[in-house]
Structure 1
Amino acid sequence: MRAHAGAPPSRRRFLALSAGGAVTGAVALSGCALQVASGVSGTGETVTLMINPDDLAPELIKQAQKDIGVKIVTVKYDITKLIAMMTNGNPPDLVRGVGAVDAPYFIARGVAENLDPYFARSAVLRADDLDPVNDVWRYDGRTQGKGPRYGMAKDFSQDSMYWYNTAHFDKAGVAYPPDTEPVTYEEWLENAKRLTRRESGRTAVFGGSYNGLNKTGLLANLTAAAGGSLFSDDFSRLDFTTPEGRTALGWYIGYARAGVGPSLIDPDPNGWDGPTYQAGRMAMSNSGYWLGGLINADPKLAKLSRLAPAPVFPGGPRLSSCQGGTGLWMTRKSRNKDAAWRVFEWFFGEAPAKARASGGWGIPTLKSLRPLMPAEKDYQKRVLKAQEAELRHFSVVSFTPYAKVEGLDAIFNQYAPAAMRGQTSVDSLARHLNQAMNEQLKRGKEQVR
């Protein structure tokens, strides 16, 4: 249940926020010509954005002031600072968030503004132009994906899709995955084993990386792919011991034990898949369409790379969700809401959005911008065809409002390595995760009553 609209956010309601910050990795944007839209006027106002430094290039901030008449001041995203600014009555106007896992959390605490009235009168962000991925920013007090809109994604990927390098498949004599039909998760793992190359006791080539954007979100998606839900109907508990939860956890621990890709017990020294895949040391990466922005920068690699559908579990549904949906939400106590909305329109529908779409760094969240996606080369057309076919299988996998994903991931990171090393069983791990994570969810629920 959300706080009453007139109630100021209390520090108690933010206790669990200290579990961690937001996901990083947004791409810097390049400036380009801007058409001023007939949205809400914010001329002469100052709008404060709490974002990461690479979310918005300085030249675009200057361009925004010139073209829409709004001065943008940025504050680096920091969850502790956000708590302080909120509780001290001086909140930022717009805040970055990872929609798939952050939206229910902030909305349930009554600190996010309902943006439905703004969308209703916008000439830039029309409801019929919004990609369904923006539903990760909807919440009706119970279910993510339904109810009012509280934010929007800047771009997205279906994050269970994976890129693969055909040169590694050719060298290992492994058949390419189909462009539009999924392999099973077991087939993916078997391919990864065959593609892994070891030299002198070291892994020279990872056969495949399958880690998602965060561990709890990944496991929620794997559980949904197995035909179940990681969370209870009211999202106050989770359960890894159900048949579907056990399938998801068992598959991921099996992936780590196989040593075919980066994991908690064998981390990638680069910290993420991009540089490793780019260097030819990774045959498959489940980074989704978004990684194409990096791949397209190297024409030789781009010609060798293909995008494949999200795998499936036998008997489970075919689904392909977004584990990120990073974007912005407006604070309910913002003092500059009209000007903030004008910046919101500009960021999601004008110059920055067009720059992101044309660079291949994610799928545009406005359907009208899809023609800007890279499609000049034959290999780009092939990727785009695979991606367009996959859009039919998009769905929102709801996340709990009672904990930050970083807090749940910290528990997973504490208990999982022993199971990954074979020192404890998957069933034992499931029980430990249930106990520790449900204690955190119980505390979180108490904070939003």
Structure 2
Amino acid sequence: MKRNITHKTMTALLATVLAAAGLSGCAGGKDAGGTGSGSGAASGDGKAEGKVTVQLWNHYTGDKAAVLDQMVSAFNASQNEITVKALSNQDPQKQLTAISGGSAPDLMFTFWNNIGPWSEAGAVLNLDDFVKQANFDTKKIIPAALERMKVDGKVYGFPISMSMASRLYYNKKMFQDAGISKPPETLEEMFEVSKKLTKKDGKNGYEQVGFIPDYPWIDNVFWPIIFGGSWDDGKGKLTAAQKANVDAIAYQTEYYKEFGSEGISKFKSGMGKADTPQDPLVTSKLGMMIGWENMYNDKRGEGGAIGVAPFPYPKERPELKNAGMVSPVAMFIPAKAKNKEAAWKVMQYFLSEDVQIEYATKAKTIPVLLSALDNPKLTKNEATKSLWEFYESAKSANLNGFPNSVYINEYLQALNEETEKALKGQITPQQAMDNVVAKIQPKADKASKK
């Protein structure tokens, strides 16, 4: 496959990145890519006081950037060969401009779905040789997180951390008031519970609703995973139109059929937004929602208003218990990096167990090392108590995510568009997924021929 960078190719990719900016929610959840500030710049000769200088660009701002700065300082103090300088608040547009020009940094953190398109343009270094030479054991990484770093079976990056949707959040008071003693275990039970939690307002509308499948966004990756679906066969053929994917959309449409598309839409427009004082899950407007690990940290637990349970599974598919969607933050080495060997050493440092645990603790995220998930420094640490259930979920064999590819953003966009039509009742779920395959299969065929 030809991977030479051309100005035309990178310009086209930049347009794709900007167009896909709104997709990070469906592919990674709330603040999935993280936040941060920092210092440093990708300039100079790569030397500082006799040491190799590794320029690390990342998209973090605020607290997460501050945490990364602490980790960088710890690395710099741990040895005397490499100095890392972190530059935060570098969004995908800035990152792509740098790696397509002559001033590429040595290491980057970015949204995982950038890896596919950028690797196709030759902007991301294939790490297979580094992995082989270092005898680096990739099996110690959570499989679902590592898979998001691969394109055509080749490793182009590693996850630094992982976000995950695998739980059901529910309003305890609403459950108590409705006489519901425990959260639903199956999707069928969840539908019945939702009906019990839904109340009309006497004005042809609703004062509270049990569950809205596309709140706070259309999750076109999460739902097929819950039903055991997939998006390709690993050989270039798209599988979006398979029964499990169609069933996932059909299940969501049942809520709109039961409560009325107009009624739910009207309710959504006035129920408040997540993470505001009017948050519907907190103010008893919404009974249940899909739970990401970085939501309601201060309201979960025994004394909190929000209950937490495993997300329900299809009654006829008990083997799908503990399914969930992963969305990692990727770290990669640009193909034009000046200090690739040093960047690889830094990457391995971030993948060591103690560092993963410290990073997960301070950033309130999920580590990507399987061994870290059972470490008492996390599982018995009161500071991470709100994440204990997610650490356990992260060990599930039923975790999955969207496959990375050179056409990933177009694929996700098509899924969004067609799923929305199906939820509105404009087309059937089967038609929606057939449309997706018709749109994207030619792109997959073209990519497989390169």
TM-score, scaled relative to structure 1:
0.72
Are positions 1:135 and 2:146 aligned together?
Answer: yes
**Partner residue of 1:324?**
327
Which of 90, 95, 99 is matched with 1:76 structurally? 90
For the Cα contact (< 8 Å) 2:353–2:371, is it kept in 1? Answer: no
Q: Give the aligned residue type for 1:161.
A: R
**Partner residue of 2:221?**
217
How far apart in 2 are the matches of 1:259 and 1:55?
A: 40
Deviation, 1:239, is: 3.8
**Partner residue of 1:34?**
none
**Partner residue of 1:404?**
408
Which of 182, 188, 191 is matched with 1:189 structurally? 191
Q: 1:266-289 CA distances to partner (integer Å, 9 max, x unpaired)? A: 467426799443444433221243
1:233-382 → structure 2 map (5 Å cutoff)? 233-240=234-241, 242-258=242-258, 266=268, 269-270=272-273, 275-291=279-295, 293-296=297-300, 300-301=303-304, 304-312=306-314, 314-315=316-317, 317-318=319-320, 320-345=323-348, 347-349=350-352, 353-358=356-361, 361-370=364-373, 371-373=376-378, 375=380, 380=385
How far apart in 2 are the matches of 1:30 and 1:283?
A: 36
Deviation, 1:314, is: 1.6
How far apart in 1 are the matches of 2:426 and 2:68?
A: 52
- Gaps spanning 5+ residues in structure 2: where? 25-29, 39-47, 77-82
**Partner residue of 1:38?**
none
- In the comparison of the two structures, how many residue pairs are matched? 415
Deviation, 1:71, is: 1.8
How far apart in 2 are the matches of 1:386 and 1:58?
A: 24
How far apart in 1 are the matches of 2:343 and 2:265?
A: 40
Deviation, 1:331, is: 1.7
Deviation, 1:329, is: 2.1
For the Cα contact (< 8 Å) 1:49–1:74, is it kept in 2? Answer: yes
C-alpha RMSD of matched pairs (Å): 4.5
How far apart in 2 are the matches of 1:263 and 1:12?
A: 43
Q: Give the aligned residue type for 2:253.
A: I
Q: Give the aligned residue type for 1:171.
A: D
Shift in CA distance, 62/239, structure 1 to aligned 2, threshold 3 Å? closer
Shift in CA distance, 322/112, structure 1 to aligned 2, threshold 3 Å? farther
Which of 43, 49, 63 is matched with 2:57 structurally? 49
Deviation, 1:340, is: 3.1
Are positions 1:3 and 2:2 aligned together?
Answer: yes
Deviation, 1:324, is: 0.9
For the Cα contact (< 8 Å) 2:72–2:85, is it kept in 1? Answer: yes
Deviation, 1:204, is: 4.1
- Gaps spanning 5+ residues in structure 1: where? 32-40
How far apart in 2 are the matches of 1:316 and 1:190?
A: 18
For the Cα contact (< 8 Å) 1:231–1:239, is it kept in 2? Answer: yes
Shift in CA distance, 313/170, structure 1 to aligned 2, threshold 3 Å? same
For the Cα contact (< 8 Å) 1:209–1:273, is it kept in 2? Answer: no
Q: Give the aligned residue type for 1:96.
A: F
Which of 382, 392, 397 is matched with 2:396 structurally? 392
Shift in CA distance, 237/134, structure 1 to aligned 2, threshold 3 Å? closer
Q: Give the aligned residue type for 2:9.
A: R
**Partner residue of 1:37?**
none
Matched residue of 1:70: which SS?
strand
Q: Give the aligned residue type for 1:373.
A: L
Matched residue of 1:436: which SS?
helix
Matched residue of 1:323: which SS?
strand
Q: 1:20-68 CA distances to partner (integer Å, 9 max, x unpaired)? A: 137261555899xxxxxxxxx9945141414142473347527735751
For the Cα contact (< 8 Å) 1:207–1:283, is it kept in 2? Answer: yes
Deviation, 1:351, is: 8.5
For the Cα contact (< 8 Å) 1:257–1:420, is it kept in 2? Answer: no
How far apart in 2 are the matches of 1:404 and 1:431?
A: 17
Matched residue of 2:88: which SS?
strand
Q: 1:289-329 CA distances to partner (integer Å, 9 max, x unpaired)? A: 34363535x87426x52232452352474162433122322
Shift in CA distance, 116/255, structure 1 to aligned 2, threshold 3 Å? farther
Matched residue of 2:87: which SS?
strand
How far apart in 1 are the matches of 2:298 and 2:220?
A: 26
Q: Give the aligned residue type for 2:254.
A: G
Q: Give the aligned residue type for 1:111.
A: A
Q: Give the aligned residue type for 2:90.
A: K
For the Cα contact (< 8 Å) 2:350–2:356, is it kept in 1? Answer: yes
Shift in CA distance, 263/61, structure 1 to aligned 2, threshold 3 Å? farther
Matched residue of 1:71: which SS?
strand
For the Cα contact (< 8 Å) 1:20–1:404, is it kept in 2? Answer: no
Q: Give the aligned residue type for 1:70.
A: V
Which of 158, 169, 172 is matched with 1:166 structurally? 172
Identical columns (%): 15
Q: 1:111-155 CA distances to partner (integer Å, 9 max, x unpaired)? A: 3223355567879x865643334322443x535xxx546221413
Q: Give the aligned residue type for 2:125.
A: E
